[in-house]
Amino acid sequence: MRWLWIWIGENDKQLKALFTVIAALYVVLLYNINVRNQRVEQAAEYFILKDRAEVLKAQFNLGKFLQSKAYKDFSEDLKHKPAEERGRDYSDQLPELISANGKDEDVYTILRFYGDLGLCVKASNCDANTICNYFFRDMQNFRENFKPVLELSPDPSSSEVIKELAEQECSSRFSQYCALYNKSPFCAEATHASDGSATGWLARLRR
């Protein structure tokens, strides 16, 4: 073993430098683990916020609205119209129907909730994977069901934040969603450029 001590003595500076690098890497690793844990914990707080009375009430009211006779009659009437007229009337009349049934504030409550969620991820305060795993499906269903209303929202910034969260931060889940529901207008917007060619970011993602 004497040779080992001799070798250590001859290379002590190099060994000190090596151990310094290892220690620095260990500190960086611990820091990254701590940051990720904090982001996961912050994301978990939104699980609790989703069950807050205001959000739960809004979700319940909107779910009840989608099952109401007024909405079913509206949907049934659209089915008997030509495609172009159906799309136009859906965009024009759904916001009016929601307003007539007093559900505007319920839509905006959920919009604000998902907007805050998106901002948390955008600021790197919430873990994106945790958020996407838990919230993507409900968030995308909300966008699908109330798209014309969100486009007329008095808070367009929240709509943009939600779009970025759903389509970019949760891009893997959004791509899977569009593979199943390729007729979704959101998928069409992401896949096609304004001239109709498949040059959108989702098309590039699939190549």
pLDDT digits (tens, 9 = 90+) for 3-24: 544 544 555 555 455 445 444 4
Residue showing tokens 């959004």: 174
pLDDT digits (tens, 9 = 90+) for 56-95: 888 889 999 999 999 999 999 988 888 888 888 999 999 9
Mean pLDDT in residue range 177-197: 74
Q: Residue 93 has which token pair?
A: 């009349």
Note whether 104 and 20 are within 8 A (CB). Answer: no
pTM beyond 0.85: no
Q: State the pLDDT at residue 17.
A: 53
CA distances from 197 to 168, 181, 188, 204 (A): 20, 19, 11, 12
